[in-house]
Amino acid sequence: MNKIEPRSGKGRTNLSLMPYSFWSLIFVVVPLVFVAYYAFTDDNFRFTTENITRFFTATSALKEDDGTLREVHTYLVIFMRSLKLAAISTVICLLMGYPLAYIIARAKARTQKMLVTLIMIPMWMNFLIRTYAWMTILQDTGILNSMLSVVGLGPVRIIGTEAAVVIGMVYDYFPYMVLPIYSIMAKMDMKLFEAARDLGCNGFGVLKRVIFPLSLPGVLSGINMVLIPSVSTFYISQKLGNGKFFLIGDAIEGQYIANNLHFAAAIAFILMVILLVCMGLLKYLAAKFVYGGE
């Protein structure tokens, strides 16, 4: 994400920022404090780390493919599964979104507007409706399988597989990958590409040495905006995964519904910390390897 430089000097409070500071305090800081407070207290609001340790130590029996039962760390398994599906979705979004963002940014102004609108239109529809739509498409007797049958490739079992969950995530979060990358690419100075070609870069060299490093802030914020909601999603896995792939979001929802507010808060808190560390690491690595340590 772009760094926003403070415009006024240190120690000076800008009055026009007051409503926003107040807003962030009420709706960002206070809820976070509550999450942390609930995560570290028991039902009587006494300090405890039990909720946190439970996340790491709770075990349950997992049925293997061959029918044998295996004892596993319940929440770690769920978390790794969430992270895996989210990471796959993010990579797919990036691989599809990056070239698309580039193509849009290089198009004529009018075409750009149209393409951006096309990408945003699905976002105007409700998230639940979109997921339901994918259910009907991916069902065993759905549109996709009917088409596959016609060409003799189907039917294929898709609904209830990890693939279906990934498809749902990619579809829902794709615009969040394309838009930040596009907005950074649209602002790039074309002269820099010419300069690179002038200095001996072929087309791929320009991409590798100029376009990619300059677009990195957009890529990072795209990854942020896709990875985080994908990791914590619960609805998509329930509807498209037929509830077979219990994700960390489902776990939080389940605990919340079961009125285990403190444990739900603990899972949310741990998830947040891990994601913050991941994003920090990603940013650090990107800076180190692409910008030469600056």
Partner 1 sequence: MHNHLIEFKNVSKTFDTTEALSNINLYVDENEFLTLLGPSGCGKSTLLRLIAGFESPTDGQLLFEGQDLSSIPPHKRKVNTVFQKYALFPHLNVYDNIAFGMKIQKKSKKEIEYEVGRVLELVNLKGFDRRSVDSLSGGQQQRIAIARAIVNKPHVLLLDEPLAALDLKLRKDMQIELKNMQKELGVTFIYVTHDQEEALSMSDTIVVLNEGKIQQIGAPCDIYNEPRNAFVADFIGESNIIDGVMLENYKASFSGHTFQCLDKGFAEGEPVDVVVRPEDVDIVPEGEGMLCGNVTQVTFMGVHNEIIVDIGGFKWMIQTTDSVNVGERIGISLDPDAIHIMKKSEYSGMFGDYSSYSNELDELSDPGRDE
Residue 199, interface with partner 1 (CB under 8 A)?
Answer: yes
* CA-CA-CA-CA dihedral for 190, 191, 196, 198, to nearest 10: 130
> CA angle, 281 as apex, 220 and 83 as ends, to 5°?
75
Residue 294, interface with partner 1 (CB under 8 A)?
Answer: yes
Residue 43, interface with partner 1 (CB under 8 A)?
Answer: no
- Binders of partner 1 in range 134-153 (CB under 8 A): none
Residue 195, interface with partner 1 (CB under 8 A)?
Answer: yes
Token pair of 163, please? 């693939």
Q: Applying CB under 8 A, which of residues 122, 213, 229, 254 lies at the interface with partner 1?
A: 213
d(CA 49, CA 35): 14
Would you say 81 or 197 has its CB closer to partner 1? Answer: 197
Positive or negative, the Cα torsion across 154, 159, 163, 169? positive
Would you say 209 or 244 has its CB closer to partner 1? Answer: 209
Would you say 10 or 191 has its CB closer to partner 1? Answer: 191
d(CA 205, CA 195): 12
How many residues bind partner 1 (CB under 8 A)? The answer is 21
Residue 192, interface with partner 1 (CB under 8 A)?
Answer: yes
Residue 205, interface with partner 1 (CB under 8 A)?
Answer: yes
The SS3 assignment for 157 reads: coil
Q: Applying CB under 8 A, which of residues 5, 64, 66, 198 lies at the interface with partner 1?
A: 198
Question: Kind and range of the H or E element at 71?
Answer: strand 69-73
Residue 286, interface with partner 1 (CB under 8 A)?
Answer: no
